[in-house]
Amino acid sequence: MMPFLAMEIPTRLVHLSGVDVAIIAFYFALVLAIGFYLRGRANTGEDFFMAGREMTAWVAGLSFLSANLGALELMGWAGSAYQYGILATHWYWIGAIPAMLFLALVMMPFYYISKTHSVPGYLKLRFGEPARALSAISFAFMTVLMSGVNMFAMAKVMQIVLGWDLNFSIWISSLTVAIYVALGGLRSAIFNEVLQFFLIWAGALLIPILGLKEAHGWGHLKVLITQRASAQYVHLWSGLGHFSTNPMGIHWTGIVFGLGAVISMGYWTTDFLVVQRILAAKDLRSAELAPIIGAGFKMMVPLIVILPGLLGLALLPMKLVPESVAAVTGGHSYNDVLPLMLARYCGPGLLGLGITALIAGFMSGMAGNVSAFTTVWTYDIYRPLINPKATDHHYVSMGRWTTIIGVLISVGTAYLVMHSASIMDYVQELFSFFIAPLFGTVLLGMLWKRASGWGGFWGLLCGTVSSISMWAWVKADPYALRYVALSADAKALAQDMYQALWSFIICVIVTVVVSLLTQRKTDAELTGLVYGLTPIPSVGDVPLYEKPLFWAAIVIIVFFILNIIFW
């Protein structure tokens, strides 16, 4: 009954003016025009799937960040900020910045010089076909589920703010994405993501600016949050000494090791959705600079994502509840905080800009998942396992059809989110299943030449199965939470962090044991794939201010300063 209850059309909170409608219509026309314009430049596999590998550092970097700044991020983390307070910022700072810099300086050279089309493609070169097939299938499954989350997030905006039918909202937006990605491939997705990056910021900044004005500044906002919730909702680290002293029910070890060392490292370095954008860079220096540029902007994203959730916690008159509860009671859930704040502050014109920003965020995240799914299916499942001898033109056609099919499958997964407390609880579960063990496999493959093909396969399989098994164990027996998450006081996101940590450890142990018992590739076969056996090319003789390492150092200094300020 829950999906049908959630689809009931509520009383709309606002009405669109003619200016608002014109802004939204112009945006839809513009993204479709870009897709049609770029169609003629996506005729080969390299053009369609990798954008011809000619993107500059800034274009690749902004696309890299924008692919992660979809409606899922905007609505999901705003809802998590309402639910958990400023602790949600960890997913933008310690849960992103170190990993993005690690990708730039350590892992990017391997991906780029191997000219692989995907992360499963690297695993094929390093471990062989079984590891590639397993990672490709699990990743394709994950991207379809993630794409459905973006659909659900956008439909919620339209339903809450405008009173539109849930089904209509899903179909009109998803078909637009399917058309422009199918026409222009990754190039179209990247150019639209850069456009969407600026639109998201232009529209999403309205809420924090107007909200801080109503709350009379950050200092008074902290007082209001303390009165309505607790002081720990506005501190990043001071309440993490024990599971019971913070709203997330997590210990600092879960944040540092589960999030910082495993999930974030796994997501930013092995999730093909984001890595694909960097692989499209025109040279190695651009490929290394792109994640660093993305990291610089990433540190500012909490301003438009986390702050609206905190403002909602302090200023909204109603109390928001988990999505599963709202679906039954008809109230507003944590996921609704951003559209509620949009309706609170935006009048004619501004409302159109704000809704366009959220639509842009939805399409950015949706296009990222669809283009990644299309490439992995075509290059890592269809070509090697089903039809290895077809022409390049055939694979491009398959990519276009897969785009449409991927969108259609994603529609069906949108309703799964209703069974979670919030969007981000659902997403982090998926990451603990698929991303954490994949990172263990890739990391050992790059750093340890003794890792064998069967070691990589069995480590990845055991890591993935162990994480799903821990999740099922807690679902069947809630008492098991004290074993998986180390405390009975742990909450959903805390459980996800520890699930990821244990699955990573299991993956590494199994990979090491099996590798020691099986034959590895020769040093000659591993050249270009493993540190110590690979000559790392230089970024060239450029001034200090153009070197990736220089800008990475600046980003990490700012990162530490921010964590100290909001301790």
The answer to whether the Cα torsion of 309, 313, 317, 323 is positive or negative is positive
Model pLDDT for residues 351-386, shown as the tens digit of each residue: 777 777 777 666 666 666 777 777 777 877 888 888
Return the residue matching tokens 């709350």.
215
Distance (Å, whole) CA 360 – CA 363: 5
pLDDT, one tens digit per residue, over 435-490 is 889 999 989 998 899 999 999 999 999 999 999 999 999 989 988 988 999 888 88
Mean pLDDT of 202-217: 86
Q: Which residues contact 327 (CB under 8 A, 6 or more apart)?
A: 2, 3, 5, 6, 333, 418
Candidates 530, 547, 53; CA nearest to 279 is 53
Q: Which residue has the tokens 């792109």?
A: 290
Judge whether residue 54 has pLDDT over 60: no
Q: What is the mean pLDDT of the chain?
A: 79
Q: Which of 161, 192, 185 is nearest to 362 (CA)?
A: 192
* Cα–Cα distance list, 24 to 21, 28, 40, 165, 355 (Å): 5, 7, 26, 17, 8
CB–CB of 215/315 below 8 Å? yes
Predicted confidence (pLDDT) per residue in 309-320, tens digit: 999 999 988 888
Q: Residues with Cβ < 8 Å from 421, sequence gap 6 or more?
A: 83, 322, 323, 324, 334, 492
Superfamily of segment(s) 2-423: Sodium/glucose cotransporter (1.20.1730.10)
Q: Residue 460: what pLDDT?
A: 95
Among residues 460, 455, 454, 449, which one has the least CA distance to residue 528?
Answer: 449
Spatial contact of 28 and 176, defined as CB atoms under 8 Å apart: yes
Q: How many CB atoms lie within 10 A of CB 299?
A: 18
Is the confidence at residue 13, as pLDDT, over 70? no
Question: What Cα–Cα distance (Å) separates residue 489 from each residue in 85, 237, 249, 343, 486?
Answer: 17, 17, 6, 35, 9
Residue at token pair 């910082």: 260
Beta bridge partners, 321, equal 333
pLDDT tens string 225-272? 998 888 889 999 988 988 888 888 889 999 999 999 999 998 888 776
pTM, whole model, 2 decimals?
A: 0.78
Please report the pLDDT score of residue 364 as a whole number. 62
Which residues is 281 bridged to in the sheet? 55
Residue (of 56, 115, 88) closest to 293 by Cα position: 56
User: Residue 409 is encoded by which pair of tokens?
Assistant: 């499958």
Arithmetic mean of pLDDT, 295-300:
88
**pLDDT single digits (tens) 309-354:** 999 999 988 888 776 677 677 777 887 888 788 778 876 667 777 7
Burial of 329 (0-12, 13-18, 19+ CB in 10 A): exposed
Residue 53 pLDDT greater than 70, yes or no:
no
CA 467 vs. chain centroid, Å, equals: 19
Please give the Cα distance from 412 to 401 (Å, whole number).
18
Q: Which residue has the tokens 């909200």?
A: 211
Q: If we measure between CA atoms, which residue out of 443, 505, 429 comes closest to residue 266?
A: 443
Residue with tokens 């890299």: 64
C-alpha distances (whole Å) from 409 to each of 6, 158, 173, 178, 412 are 20, 21, 15, 12, 6
Residues 6+ apart with CB under 8 A from 553: none
Cβ atoms of residues 12 and 159 within 8 Å: no
Condensed to tens digits (0 to 9), the pLDDT of residues 505-559 reads 999 999 999 999 999 999 888 887 888 787 777 666 777 777 888 989 999 999 9
pLDDT at residue 267 in the model: 84
pLDDT for 417 beyond 80 = no
Query: Do the Cβ atoms of 337 and 316 come closer than 8 Å?
Result: yes
Closest listed residue to residue 406, CA positions, set 94, 210, 34, 139: 139
What is the three-state SS of 452-508?
CHHHHHHHHHHHHHHHHHHHHHHHHCHHHHHHHCCCCCCCHHHHHHHHHHHHHHHHH
- Would you list the domain boundaries of the chain? 2-423
Q: Quote the DSSP letter at residue 55.
A: B
Beta bridge partners of 55: 281
Return the closest-CA partner of residue 312 out of 115, 538, 88, 7: 88
Pair 272, 368: CB distance under 8 Å: no
Q: Are 507 and 463 within 8 A, CB to CB?
A: yes
Q: Is the pLDDT assigned to residue 11 strictly greater than 50?
A: no
pLDDT one-digit tens code per residue, 84-131: 999 999 999 999 999 989 988 887 777 766 666 667 878 888 999 899
pLDDT > 70 in the chain, percent:
77
